[in-house]
Amino acid sequence: MSTTTPDFRLIDSTLRDGSHAISHQYDSQQVIAIVKGLDRAGVQVIEIAHGDGLGGSSFNYGFSKVDEKELIAQACEATTNAKIACLLLPGIGLADDLRDVHELGVGMARIATHCTEADISEQHIKTSKSLGMETIGFMMLAHMNSPEGLVEEALKMQSYGADAIYFADSAGAMTTEDVRRRVNALVNALEVPVGVHAHNNLSMAVANSIAAYEEGATNLDGTSAGLGAGAGNCPTEILAAVSDKYGITTGVDVLALMDVAEEIVRPMMPRQQVIDRAGLILGYAGVYGSFLLHSQKAAERYNVSQAEILLELGRRKVVGGQEDMIIDVALELAQKHLEAGK
């Protein structure tokens, strides 16, 4: 592991975004093993929560196998150097959840909203700041807003006290040029650092993360082995390896990250993160990555095509938090097929 100051800060979200890919079934042993492995590799920040953030364990989003606050407490105990982070979506998580995890040892809160709804983050950003936690404003599904629109939303989060602003390509729908334009606009408009959270549905996550760094982003996300919603996230170990090839200092041990991915994370994955038809359609249609498994279940239940469901969700511009629309769309498609005599 390098002792040189890194050129960007790496936040690993295996234990939060990766939760989507395993239907939120992390257990204590898995969490402790992943935290210890990432910590030894020099990862600066490790994020852990239900895939949909604090309070996400529910019928609508999927129940956790183990209470998230129990897992967060174990993560905080398992780390030596890495800061433990959580994610909260206002309306799913509560201000009291931030107080609870702060007492457990969480040092960073990422307050996430849809990319046009930053105004709903004010209470939670201010609560997090009042607790002394580093606080990041996190704008999801950023392909659904223009660079200028993202700046307008980001300035709100900055005014509430956010220490950094992220945008998430939650659908893995962005090209490298899309990322460059948005990062450039934010870097030029904001007084706080900028970060990018990339998904891999178009096989662009690593390239987009490097492009984000080149445009001035100083915080980048990854997950071990790419474990995450949809076709997965930017793989932490690949981002680190490619960064080394570019001469970008990461401060992490690339080989140790490879060991975590190969020896700890891959064996527990129910399916490897590949860009299959459904995953590709998510990026092509611009649909939230966490809809992948929900749409698969709906397709099987109502005997309709998962691709049809995802394309229709994309046409309707459905966003995170509207998981109930997956069932509505599947039912409508099943009815149409029935009426058509299929």
The span from the CA of 170 to the CA of 182, in Å, is: 14
For residue 12, which phi and psi values (nearest 5 degrees)? -100, 125
30, 268 contact by CB (below 8 A): yes
Element (H, E) at 136: strand 134-140
97, 53 contact by CB (below 8 A): no
Structure tokens at 160: 């509430």
Catalytic residue among 20, 102, 124, 294: 20
Q: What amino acid is encoded at 114 in this protein? A: H
Closest CA to 25 of 293, 320, 326: 293
Secondary structure (DSSP) of 255-320: HHHHHIIIIIIGGG-SS-----HHHHHHHHHT--TTHHHHHHHHHHHHT--HHHHHHHHHHTT--T
Phi-psi region of 271 (alpha: psi -120 to 50; beta: other; left: phi over 0): beta
**Residue 73, CB-side half-sphere exposure with 13 Å CA sphere:** 8
For residue 276, which phi and psi values (nearest 5 degrees)? -85, -175
50, 64 contact by CB (below 8 A): yes
User: Is 20 marked active-site?
Assistant: yes
Q: Which residues participate in catalysis according to the annotation?
A: 20
